[in-house]
Amino acid sequence: MELKKTPLNQIHKDLGARLVPFAGWEMPVQYTGVIDEHTTVRTKAGLFDVSHMGEIFVAGEKALDAVQMLTTNDASKMADGQVQYTLLCYPDGGVVDDVTLYKFNEQRFLFCVNASNAQKDFDWIKANAGGIANVKDASEAYAQFAIQGPFSQNVLQKVCSIDLSSINYYHFKVGLIDKTGAIISRTGYTGEDGFEIYISPEYAVNIWNKILDHGGSYGIKPIGLGARDTLRLEMGYPLYGNELSKDTTPIEAGLEKFVALQKNDFIGKKVLESQVKTGIKKKLIGFEMIEPGIARSHNKINNHGRQIGEVTSGTMSPSIGMPIGMGYVETQFAAMGTEIGIEIRNRVAKARIVKKRFYSSKPVCKK
């Protein structure tokens, strides 16, 4: 199957990026190097092409009802112009996808979904909400960039019509970027302050270049998926396909604060409710290595020689300078400080369970 290309494909090549297949797209994994790009986002500003992400609108008089039935979090609490992290679940509690939900008004919502799940999500939303709301796949209509890092606002303000300081964390506004309409949200997947912008693909190259030009004095650089992964992992953010899947529930993944059991029925509620009441068999944990070695996904996790789970993500943390990871273990072994063994290439390296939030950055702007 031919890989899909974002409007920036040629620009990435010109910038010297290494392009790899990802979720059916040809995407830049790195430009200058993962560690340099990671540090740039933590200390300055980075620009990510995330045009592979999917956008699905749910609209109509019963749009809120549709969203409430599809998602685990409580969308009735959202103000217009607010963004919410939420999950779509199957009836058995397994995760269809984790998404960000944008509320324009009671009758118009936007789901930003993972590229790897875009078609599946659209089919799922259409099948379950198509009867009461208009469901439209708008993925082709948007290019998406993320501008992340402490100087994000300074850089983006130079090309943006609205006062960015007026956009609070997990809120959005519609405004002009370089004279073209854009959705601008104060969101991201790095743990740094920053924005995600949705623009028309035909203006994408122009806006990308302008942001890099204007951000030059702030040290902005283009950032690939490699650093996107290390940045999110340091924050303990789950990645669908690693920490989340149809075989894991939001409760097992430690995402109970995004599951609103007090709201009316939603798909998966029964199972999630019972898991909260009676407990879970496996739990997502974070760990740091005690002995040398880097854990990788699918490495087995042991306790005194018995397998108790499996690694879902692992890397050398560029910010902390030590190997970190996440994985599922049997709940009885999930306590903070528990020593576990990670099977790495025919040997077992000791690790210790720690908080999933490995890296603590400066707090984001919450005005």
Partner 1 sequence: MDFPKELRYSKEHEWARAESNIVTVGITDYAQDSLGDVVYVELPAEGSTVTKDETFGVVESVKAVSDLYSPVTGKVIEVNDALIDSPEVINDDPYGDAWMIKVEVANLAEIKELLTADEYKQFVEEEK
Choose which of 6, 30, 40, 68 interacts with partner 1 (CB under 8 A): 30
C-alpha–C-alpha distance, residues 274 and 266, integer Å: 14
Q: Exactly one of 229, 234, 243, 252 binds partner 1 (CB under 8 A); which one?
A: 229
**Which strand (E) or helix (H) includes residue 124?**
helix 118-129
Binding span for partner 1 by CB under 8 A among 4-12, 48-56, 103-111, 226-234: 226-234
- For partner 1, the closer of residues 18 and 136 by Cβ is 18
One residue of 15, 138, 271, 294 binding partner 1 per CB under 8 A: 294
- Binding-residue total with partner 1 (CB under 8 A): 19
Q: Does 6 bind partner 1 (CB under 8 A)?
A: no
Q: Does 365 bind partner 1 (CB under 8 A)?
A: no
Q: Which residues pair with 282 in a beta bridge?
A: 330
Binders of partner 1 among 187-216, rule CB under 8 A?
A: none
Closest by CA position to 263, among listed 86, 138, 90: 86
Q: CA 351: distance to chain centroid?
A: 26
Of 120, 296, 350, 352, the one binding partner 1 (CB under 8 A) is 296
Task: Of 160, 122, 161, give the one whose Cα is nearest residue 140.
Answer: 122
Q: Candidates 34-42, 134-142, 254-262, 274-282 — which segment interacts with partner 1 by CB under 8 A?
A: 34-42
Residue among 16 and 216 whose Cβ is closer to partner 1: 16
The answer to whether the CB of 221 falls within 8 A of the CB of 32 is yes
- Both tokens of 344, joined, read 């790495």
Using the minimum distance from each CB to partner 1, give the nearer residue, 122 or 359: 359
Told to check if 346 binds partner 1 by CB under 8 A, we report: no
CA distance 18 to 16: 7
Tell whether residue 230 is a contact of partner 1 (CB under 8 A).
Answer: yes
Q: Identify whether the C-beta of residue 86 lies closer than 8 Å to the C-beta of residue 75.
A: yes
Q: Return the residue of 306, 345, 366, 367 that touches partner 1, per CB under 8 A.
A: 345
16 binds partner 1 (CB under 8 A): no
Report the nearest approach of partner 1 to the CB of residue 311 (Å): 13
What is the C-alpha to C-alpha distance for residues 269 and 282, in angstroms, rounded to an integer? 18
Nearer residue to partner 1 within complex by CB, 236 or 314: 314
318 touches partner 1 by CB under 8 A: yes
What is the rounded distance in angstroms from the CA atom of residue 84 to the CA atom of residue 87? 10
Q: What is the DSSP letter of 13?
A: H
How big is the CA angle at 70 (ends 69 and 72), to the nearest 5 degrees? Answer: 90
Q: How far apart are CA 274 and CA 258, in angstroms?
A: 16
Residues that bind partner 1 (CB under 8 A): 18, 29-30, 33-36, 226, 229-230, 292-294, 296, 315-316, 318, 323, 345
